[in-house]
Amino acid sequence: MEILSHHHKTLQADKEMGEVKPYSELHRPQFHFSPKKNWMNDPNGLITYKNVHHLYFQYNPHGNQWGHMSWGHATSSDRVHWQEHHVAIPEKEHMIFSGTTALDLDKETLIAAFTSFEHALDPQGGLATKVQHQSIAKSHDDGFSYQEIAENPVLDIGSTEFRDPKLFFDPRTQKWNMLVSLSLEHKVVFYQSTDLKTWKKVSDFGPLGNTAAVWECPDLFKLPVKGSDIQKWVLTLSAGHPQEGQLGMQYFIGDFNGTHFIPDPHPYPLYLDYGKDFYAGITFANTDHKDHVTMMAWVGSHCYSSDTPTHIWRGAMSLPRDLFLTETKKGYRLQSRPPHSYLNALYSQPWLREGLHLYNGTVEPPFKGKSFVARLTIKNEGITTAGIKILKSKNCETIVGVDFGKGEIFIDRTTSSSHKFNGKFFGKDAMPIDTTWQAIQLDIFVDQSIVEVFVQNGAHTLTNLVFPDEDGNTIKLFAKGGKAHFEKVDIRTVKSIWT
């Protein structure tokens, strides 16, 4: 991990000189996108056009708290190295809330659909929502700037909780489609148009699944079921989390007949991620791969993100997540794959171990680091808890592991940060083990303040923020409560995308 110790030394040197180099601040992710400065939340308008991946995002150009929402912009050729540009859609009298983009039929104009958020100041100086309506903007410079059309807002039902349009053209009906969530009613409303200006309601979906939280950021896409010619439509939403009072994403599988989404019978809610910081995810439009879609999400949560201990910037994006539909013994499920293919070029030589047996103890790899990827294959041998302690300092650690006794896979961030910035943050997130799994494979992407865990090659995921101490770079494999058999351990450092 020379890169990291070098990074650490530079940090020290910069500090002594009284400044920190951009992208070297404490907690700054080194292989995940975050804006150079200021607040960021949802990804918006993800689209691939002329071999460039565009990432727009909810951005406050004026500070590192939520506010003045505009569409920030970054581009990439590989969805890993990002270059940030000027704001693509700035706030006006209204803020520019989340939405999506699509390529116009002329194949030259990019179209953005977003929620225009009209607001006023309430007597306490807070924001009072006047209305949330939908607007359209067009770009004639390949996505670097957008101009609102004169007819805006194009869709106004007078609601204060009506947002996050997903725009797409359906060749079957030759119509533009827009899905908008009626957040408090737990509904997604489907509209159609031929000119992007006049919109007609054609159906609505919901409530179904988890309705504990507001429904936000709908997405809809078609996927084949792996290894078959069955095609299904998947509706994803940011709403609901297995843990009450938290935010997360859920999905529905079914068919979209051109006007209506008809869900298949499944034991809803189905969750996209079992951590607390994978939110507002949407997929890239205009891609040509047929077997998967690629999603990025905000690594954060409105439950506590305004308090997180980062400075200059606040908020980061997940790694790109390729999503597939797979037939499991419980039915069709959305799965991903660990994003190694995106990151391979950044990996160091691995530290490898095979057949490592631990009995109530720990093993420390011969290096330290805060940006690395670990693949562990742990055999199910009884009641032991086994896994890896990461981002460890004298007082803090984050634990990722398998509790075979309880039958769960977990990220424990109870003691992951010295700053007790918000009580809702601290705790343990877990997902159930399938008892038929003989061995459990965890692909753990650790990046300063982000932990993304892919279970069984991406069948399930857990994503969480953590805020370790500056010297929290110790890594330890561990077994507790008996013996553990690590069939395989593979740990590689990941080079920074910013240097």
| H or E element in which residue 70 lies | strand 70-76
Q: Which two tokens stand for residue 332?
A: 């069709």
Which 199-218 residues touch ligand FRU, going by CB under 6 A?
Answer: 216-217
Query: 451 with 445: CB under 8 angstroms?
Result: yes
The least CB distance from residue 125 to ligand FRU, in Å, is: 19
- State how far the Cα of 181 lies from the Cα of 164, in Å rounded to an integer: 7
Query: 436 with 459: CB under 8 angstroms?
Result: no
Which 267-286 residues touch ligand FRU, going by CB under 6 A?
Answer: 280
The least CB distance from residue 469 to ligand FRU, in Å, is: 29
The least CB distance from residue 238 to ligand FRU, in Å, is: 6
For position 440 contacting ligand FRU by CB under 6 A, the verdict is no
For position 115 contacting ligand FRU by CB under 6 A, the verdict is yes
For position 293 contacting ligand FRU by CB under 6 A, the verdict is no
Which 125-154 residues touch ligand FRU, going by CB under 6 A?
Answer: none
The least CB distance from residue 218 to ligand FRU, in Å, is: 10
For ligand FRU, the closer of residues 163 and 314 by Cβ is: 163
Cross-strand bridge partners of residue 204? 189
Closest by CA to 402, choosing from 355, 373, 427, 437, is 437
DSSP structure class, residue 225: B
For ligand FRU, the closer of residues 130 and 357 by Cβ is: 130
For position 397 contacting ligand FRU by CB under 6 A, the verdict is no
Which 84-103 residues touch ligand FRU, going by CB under 6 A?
Answer: 97-98
The least CB distance from residue 204 to ligand FRU, in Å, is: 18
- Of positions 31, 32, 42, 343, contacts ligand FRU by CB under 6 A: 42
Window 47-76: contact mask with ligand FRU (x via CB under 6 A): -----------x----------x-------
Query: 40 with 59: CB under 8 angstroms?
Result: yes
For position 164 contacting ligand FRU by CB under 6 A, the verdict is yes
- State how far the Cα of 389 lies from the Cα of 384, in Å rounded to an integer: 15
# chain residues binding ligand FRU, by CB under 6 A: 13
List the catalytic residues: 42
- State yes or no: cis peptide before 29, omega within 30 of 0: no
What own/partner pairs with CB < 8 Å and gap ≥ 24 does 194-201 have? 196/111, 196/136, 196/149, 196/154, 197/136, 197/149, 197/151, 197/154, 198/154, 199/134, 199/154, 199/155
Closest by CA to 301, choosing from 280, 328, 270, 283, is 280
- State how far the Cα of 458 lies from the Cα of 178, in Å rounded to an integer: 30
- Of positions 163, 186, 375, 485, contacts ligand FRU by CB under 6 A: 163
The least CB distance from residue 409 to ligand FRU, in Å, is: 26
For position 299 contacting ligand FRU by CB under 6 A, the verdict is no
| H or E element in which residue 371 lies | strand 371-379
Which 216-275 residues touch ligand FRU, going by CB under 6 A?
Answer: 216-217
Residues that bind ligand FRU (CB under 6 A): 41-42, 58, 69, 97-98, 115, 163-164, 216-217, 280, 302
